[in-house]
Structure 1
Amino acid sequence: MKAGKSIGALLTATAMLTLAACGGGNAEQASTTDNQAAAPAEPAASAPAATEAAPAPAKEPTKVVFWHAMGGELGKAVDKLVADFNAQSDTVEVEAVFQGSYDEALNKLKTTLGTNEGPTMMQVYEIGSRFMIDTGAIQPIQKFVDAEGYDLSQLEENILGYYTFDGQLNSMPFNTSNPILYYNKDMFAAAGLDPEKPPKTYEEVAEYAKKLTKDGKYGASFALYGWFMEQFHANAGVDYVDNGNGRNAMATASLVNGDLAVRTMEWWTGMVKDGTALNLGRKTSDTKAAFAAGQVAMTLDSTAGLRGYVDAVGGKFEVGTGFLPKPADAAEGGVIVGGASLWMLNNRPEAEQLAAWEFMKFLVSPEQQAWWHVNTGYFPITKAAYDQAIVKENAEKFPQFQTAVDQLHGTKLSTATQGAVMGVFPEARQLVETAMEEAVNGAKPAKEALDAAAAEITKKIGEYNATVKK
């Protein structure tokens, strides 16, 4: 596949942005300067004076431009990591540039493909992986791993699994999370439920929700977030798209209207209809606010939000955490990693790519991952980070996070838990959320809403695939 041709076609297919004609622009720019100077010659009658080399000017560090999508407090954490790296490196200087949300950052990157205007490395959310590979504009991280003999076994296998395709690591995992159940232990106790035993299945969630719903308070509230539907599939060991979740071959069809999805939405809709679950729409920030206010007893959200949940509750009640629920008779599965990874662009000079590789290794070192985890709530992707003192101290302060660690480590790696890959994932997630909304609001039966979403996603997958096939 020719990179220039594929990039232009991909952007047309996604209908997000339109690129001008793509050019080459892979030539490295290098210059050498001879700074050796000879001492002036002495008169012939004198003994020859020794020549002395003038000191070479200090070599400028190699600059790495890093585009990321971490705003607010997360952005400050990224800036701290970058500053710490720059302070300890004489040869590499990283410039971090915030580019907005994940969607906004990826759209900005698209405008630079085929030019030399883009970054050296880029943070892209996990569902952008298929698109990044298909651009032909990335340098797989496996190249640097193999060249150096870098030991990938020091990183979490279940996190590496998502970003590995055909045995090749394409990007370096960075900020990683998965979904967990948050619950109000005080409300559990008041309802006669064991506050140390959160529900594990769909059936138990529905049963608990009935007992917890009273005095104007609800048993549960789950945001209509497409990520949750993806996770429910993985947790039941069910693929989200065909062809091994798009990992054995390019996905050609959505499976979001299968038995598991229909069963999930009927369970969810049933709780809303019987008044034991409160529907607050698509935003997890809304369900979080309701939970923190003590209005709902159970909700779902990312592990990365744990510290924010505890802070928002502020001691009004004790926050408990549990595994993502699944049907009682579901097959073995687990959770998919969320978050983002770091991608190398292949149109940058080799020295720049090597410099970015040094920065990536710094970011995944145990010390940096420990600091990142404690200050953001994202998983350490490096196993040895758990041995760092600050992580152990944080675990004592926030024991609820052990749930997330156990859930990650208990996940069995399969095509379902590796996660689906398709070039139109952002659009697919929006279509699924629309179907979830239609079902929960009673506009359509769950099966009808999901059938429509699956058909539209399948159509979009076909249009996308047509632009990347040889």
Structure 2
Amino acid sequence: MLHRRHLSIVAGLSALGLALSSCGGGAEDGDQVSIDFYYPIAVGGPLEETIDGYIEQFEEENSHIDVTAVYSGDYDQTLASVQSASQAGNMPALSVLLSTDLLTLDDSDLIRPIGEITDDEDWLNSFEEAFMVNSTLPDGTVASIPFQRSTIVMYWNKELFEEAGLDPETAPETWDEMVEFGQQVQQDGGAQWGVQIPSTGHAIWMLEAMAIQNGVVLDDETGTETHFDEDGVVTALENWVELKEEGIEPEGLVDWGNLPNEFANGDTGIVWTTTGNLTNIRENADFDFGVAPLPTQEQPGSPTGGGNLYVMEGLSEEEEEAAVELAQFLSSPEIQADWGVASGYVATREDAWETEPLAEYVEDFPQAEVAKDQLPDAEREFGTFRRQEVGDFATNAVQSALSDGADPRAELEEAQEQADSTLDEYR
């Protein structure tokens, strides 16, 4: 099985002397520390067992630390579990939570910024710049560490393209080409749907991508302003609605969780989803498919996405240090290389791409590098204060326009008014 192969690769790292720096002081070997680690899985595949393998390896290399790894559902469920644990006085030491929840978590005193625990600049500065924007507080303090990060990419079914008379090796490069190719694979290639873009679960993420392509980032760097009603955002949502009006995307909402399987079943020409679904799709699709950056509108672009490693508030010094050691291990180039192959997430540091098994994997499967290549055009992901609540205003606008036929501009103007009211106290 895939995770067993990965575990054997990672286990071999001990013999090579995996160098992971400690934050110093505190627990020594023999002073046992027990910590909990909460993590979500937001993509398909047997990743729970892969994480268990990493924790087993970590404990072998750090005999003074016992880690209980808790798979806690999706990101929202994991956040709810952390909040419940905090109220019960049983906080996990380390958690994987959305990078975009940074301001909300800090404002709620649920996290201890990692940059306040360790001054290991070599480690803190080792990550891709695009991923650090949602990892750093406005004052410049590194608060969390990129772990399972992503961008949105486009997948296309090469067999349907060929059947439709399209070049199976050429992805659409613009929105208009995507619409044209989607129509052609329906009409001439036998596809049930030409294009599908998910509108449940992460609808605002998809809208962000389209807005960025029209020159608009949905929030500002302070996390106190949103731009839902700007013309570029309205145009983006109108274009999305037109996919349904033209019949190349299903009516109603497209389900985030089911979409990778629907694409793997071979009935859709083009889908947008996270690069984190790459391994899942590769293992389940019995046809050749391509992966490409998102098509441009006025310009190329995608938001980053995914989860970070957070050290939680209210720990002892020994627990904090153990949590940082685990974060260093999970974000090391060796584990990031292995995790990138196991999951499809983007390895968060450049040296991981030069490390096995990722280096060999990319050579054999170049599609794995598309998300990394898209990073220069990526923008930070939407991450205001009270992100979930404020993001829901935009999500409701998107879903009303897509499923109920509501006017995109009116819906987005209402979402902007709601956001302004909610964020006013933080300005």
| Paired letter, 1:320 | G
DSSP-derived class of the 1:63 partner: strand
* CA displacement at 1:320 relative to structure 2: 0.8
In structure 2, distance between residues paired with 1:149 and 1:433 = 38
* CA displacement at 1:377 relative to structure 2: 1.3
Q: RMSD over aligned Cα, in angstroms?
A: 2.5
Decide whether aligned partners of structure 1 residues 338 and 250 sit closer, same or farther in structure 2, where only a CA change above 3 A counts.
Answer: closer
DSSP-derived class of the 2:134 partner: coil
Q: Is the 8 A contact 1:70 1:78 kept in 2?
A: no
* CA displacement at 1:250 relative to structure 2: 4.2
Give matches, 1:188-207, under 5 Å. Answer: 188-207=161-180
Deviations 1:278-300 (A, max 9, x none): 24624123333332222220110
DSSP-derived class of the 2:53 partner: helix
- For the pair 1:360 / 2:339, whether they are aligned, the reply is no
- For the pair 1:313 / 2:281, whether they are aligned, the reply is no
Among 223, 239, 245, which residue is 2:198 paired with? 223
Match of 2:265 in 1: 293
In structure 1, distance between residues paired with 2:125 and 2:110 = 27
Decide whether aligned partners of structure 1 residues 312 and 149 sit closer, same or farther in structure 2, where only a CA change above 3 A counts.
Answer: closer
Give matches, 1:296-445, under 5 Å. Answer: 296-314=268-286, 317-327=287-297, 329-330=298-299, 334-408=301-375, 410-411=376-377, 417-445=379-407
| Paired letter, 2:124 | L
Match of 1:212 in 2: 185
Share of identical aligned residues, percent?
Answer: 24
* CA displacement at 1:370 relative to structure 2: 1.2
In structure 2, distance between residues paired with 1:197 and 1:84 = 42
Give matches, 1:130-169, under 5 Å. Answer: 130-146=103-119, 148-165=120-137, 166-169=139-142
In structure 1, distance between residues paired with 2:313 and 2:338 = 30
Q: Is the 8 A contact 1:251 1:421 kept in 2?
A: no
Decide whether aligned partners of structure 1 residues 347 and 366 sit closer, same or farther in structure 2, where only a CA change above 3 A counts.
Answer: same
Unaligned runs of 5+ in 1: 1-30, 33-57
* CA displacement at 1:355 relative to structure 2: 1.6
Among 212, 222, 240, which residue is 2:218 paired with? 240
Decide whether aligned partners of structure 1 residues 223 and 386 sit closer, same or farther in structure 2, where only a CA change above 3 A counts.
Answer: same
* CA displacement at 1:354 relative to structure 2: 1.2
- For the pair 1:85 / 2:51, whether they are aligned, the reply is no
Match of 1:46 in 2: none
Match of 1:455 in 2: 417
Q: Is the 8 A contact 1:362 1:368 kept in 2?
A: yes
In structure 2, distance between residues paired with 1:351 and 1:325 = 48
Q: Is the 8 A contact 2:37 2:94 kept in 1?
A: yes
Deviations 1:430-467 (A, max 9, x none): 333332222223521211222222222333333xx36x
In structure 2, distance between residues paired with 1:250 and 1:219 = 36
Q: Is the 8 A contact 2:34 2:67 kept in 1?
A: yes
Q: Is the 8 A contact 2:100 2:134 kept in 1?
A: no
